[in-house]
Amino acid sequence: MLKNRTFLGILCIGMALLLVFAVSPLFNRVLDGKKDVVVLKSPVLQGQQITADMLSVIQMGSYNLPENAITETETVAGLFAASDLYAGNLIFPNMLTDSVNTSDSMLRNLNDNERAMSITIKSFANGFSGKLITGDIIKIVSVDEEKEAHIFTELEFVEVLTTTSQNGIDNIDRPPSPNEEGETSMPVTITVILQDDLQAMRLAECENTSLHAIFVSRDESKREQLLQWQMKLIDQIYEEIAEMEELDGGGDSE
């Protein structure tokens, strides 16, 4: 019995020494470890180019520091802010973009046949809960005062240009994120790209109804195909209109 107690005592002493002289210093080195990280010295607006004088490098404890925090200013300088950034922010790759994807630049680059039109989101759910981003393909459904839903051929596949919050901030590459106070400004309008005036006329007719955005696709490889299919549907509408006018004209001549 005494030998067992002696053995346990020696074992405990050995473990204590191991903890004091091996594990504890190693843990302290991890806690004391420092890493250079890039932070912003001043706020940067969405779409604004980030220059070297907006950046500084500071040392932070490496414990619990995200691995993808950018460590060199050369990686950031010359790129553009994907969303509004604030002074003191650590910088991560998803905050940056190599092109100026702002709503203004996209409006300037619309094709000759394209139009842009904004629709009001009357509730959080109507706008797909704030998750829409530029390039998404949606279907627009109208719900009238009698709570009857209407699906229109003209609005089967519509491309999102941007969503905009009440304070005028566009959400381009990702859904809205919280500001420094932890508040998220949710979208109140969706701006869509229209390929034909028939679509604009239909949306204008639905102005006083409750419009719902039904998510269809975010797959870039399918986007053009869906938009082409929408144009085929619109062409069919024009063909039907022409046939009806021809029939009406024939009836009048008799």
Among candidates 138, 125, 55, 144, which has minimal Cα distance to 91?
A: 55
Task: Among 103-112, 186-195, 204-213, name the one with the lowest average pLDDT.
Answer: 103-112
Mean pLDDT is highest, among 39-53, 63-77, 87-101, 212-226, for 212-226
Range in 3-12, 61-70, 181-190, 223-232 the model is least confident about: 3-12
Which uninterrupted H or E stretch holds 215? Answer: strand 210-217
Q: How many residues does the chain have?
A: 254
Bridging pattern class, strands 158-165 and 187-194: antiparallel
Residue 11: per-residue pLDDT = 64
CB 179 within 8 A of CB 88: no
Choose between 133 and 5: higher pLDDT.
133
Average pLDDT on 6-23 reads 61
- CA separation (Å) from 71 to 35, 65, 206, 231? 8, 12, 51, 48
Is residue 125 within 8 A of residue 70, CB to CB? The reply is no
Which helix H or strand E contains 24, and what residues bound it?
Answer: helix 24-32
Q: For 59-63, which contacts have Cβ atoms below 8 Å and span 24 or more sequence positions? A: 59/34, 59/35, 60/34, 60/35, 61/31, 61/32, 61/33, 61/34, 61/35, 62/30, 62/33, 62/34, 62/35, 63/30, 63/31, 63/33
The residue ranges of every structural domain in the chain are 32-97, 103-246
Q: What is the model's pLDDT at position 127?
A: 78
Q: Assess whether pLDDT exceeds 70 at residue 184.
A: no
Flag whether pLDDT at 253 surpasses 60: no
- Domain 32-97 sits in CATH at 3.90.1210.10
pLDDT band at 251 (very low <50, low <70, confident <90, very high): low
Residue 29 has pLDDT above 60, yes or no: no
Mean pLDDT, residues 229-235 taken together = 96
Asked if pLDDT for residue 14 goes beyond 70, the answer is: no
Rg (CA), the chain: 29
Q: Which residues pair with 44 in a beta bridge?
A: 85
**Residues 89/70, Cβ–Cβ less than 8 Å:** no
Distance CA 56, CA 130 (A): 33
pLDDT higher at 32 or 123: 123
Listed ranges 29-43, 84-98, 187-201; the one with the highest mean pLDDT: 187-201
Q: How many Cβ atoms sit within 10 Å of the Cβ of residue 50? A: 21
* Range picked from 10-19, 118-127, 129-138 for highest mean pLDDT: 129-138
* Residue 190 · residue 127 · CB < 8 Å: yes
What is the pLDDT averaged over residues 73-94?
88
pTM exceeds 0.75, yes or no: no
Percent of the chain's residues with pLDDT above 90: 41
